[in-house]
Amino acid sequence: MIWYKYRPDALYALEDPKIRETIRRYVSILEEETLPEFILAKCFEVEFNPKENIEDLIDIHDSYLQEFMKFVEEYDNEKFQLRKLKYSFLDLKITIADKLTESCEFCEWRCKVNRKAGEKGFCRVRYKPKISSMFIHLGEESWITPSFTVFFAGCNFKCIYCQNWDISQNPENGKYIEEEKLALEIENAYYEGARNVNFVGGEPTPNLHHILKVLKYVNSPIPVVWNSNAYESEIGQKLLAGIVDIYLYDFKYGNNDCALRYSKIPRYFETVTMNFKFAINYGEVSFRVLVLPNHIECCVKPILKWIKENLEDRVIVQLLSQYRPKYKACEYPEVCRTLTRKEYLEVVRYAEKIGLVFETQ
Ligand code: SF4
């Protein structure tokens, strides 16, 4: 695939010193100096009995997590010897995730529905999730592109301006693809030049059990990008830790009132900021901040301020100007228009004023 004809910036993106410094581990995977976390999770032996109850399995998982991250940090390609394991850290995560679908709490809604038995929670995603499309995406951030993007149908948010609402608000808009088959598609994309596999939607979180099972069958060293709204529960976050190389997070609102009004989401700000602080310890983080019209003071400035004060130079920030009033946006007059040039410039000037390093798009 001659992707660099279309995105020459992507070809040179990894030479940018700021990018190399901020997402050092991702770059070293692409340069074959180390391996993606999920591959290492398959090589890390753990002991557990799959019949144990979920609470005990989570305790076992927690007791291994830091030791595993040390293994990731100290991993040395030349010294490593592959051996057959009874159970790996990934097996433990798969066992927990699968049991959790019987009382689902992958995200902060914590619906506790039995998805295996056909019950549906807020997201309405079935136990066997649907994929609406997958392809090598050339329109992502330069350092991610080309990205093998897997679009899951369904979402745990109900954003009134969703640009992908036909996928996100209809969890049946796609088809179920078995784990081994999807793994094969990922392998093929890797050999066609994809820099990563990018799980998105809708939202990937309701599909966590399926994604972990898919990764068991992937043997190519392709980094994992988690392209999400960051509304995972605590256990959802723990299961991702040691699997995700890049957390590509939307940071949508600077307060809970706007989150409730436009995405129907309670406890937004405390949930996502807790997750951002957790994620940075287990992978590399990049933020997408979509600037909504009339939301500079209440949302964008508090978001940028929070990033500056809490994660400073450890993340990449993209300020997105492409908002369009789609779906139900015009039921809310204040967001029923595109962004003005003046608004976007105000955001850029504010980011510069507080000394935040960011990219525009
Ligand atoms: S993923 Fe979230 S919204 Fe969906 S059933 Fe599970 S807890 Fe509920």
**86-106: pLDDT as tens digits:** 999 999 999 999 999 999 999
Atom of ligand 1 nearest to the CA of 107: 2
Question: 36, 222 in Cβ contact below 8 A?
Answer: yes
Q: Whose alpha carbon is nearest atom 2 of ligand 1?
A: 107
Closest residue to atom 5 of ligand 1, CA basis? 121
- Ligand 1 centroid distance, CA of 77 (Å): 38
How much is the pTM?
Answer: 0.96
- Which of 222, 247, 246 has its CA nearest to residue 232? 247
Give pLDDT, residue 1.
Answer: 64
Residue-wise pLDDT tens digits, 13-59: 899 898 899 999 999 999 999 999 999 999 999 999 999 999 999 99
209 CA to middle of ligand 1, Å?
Answer: 12
For ligand 1, atom 1, the nearest C-alpha belongs to: 206
Is any ligand 1 atom within 6 A of the Cβ of residue 201? no
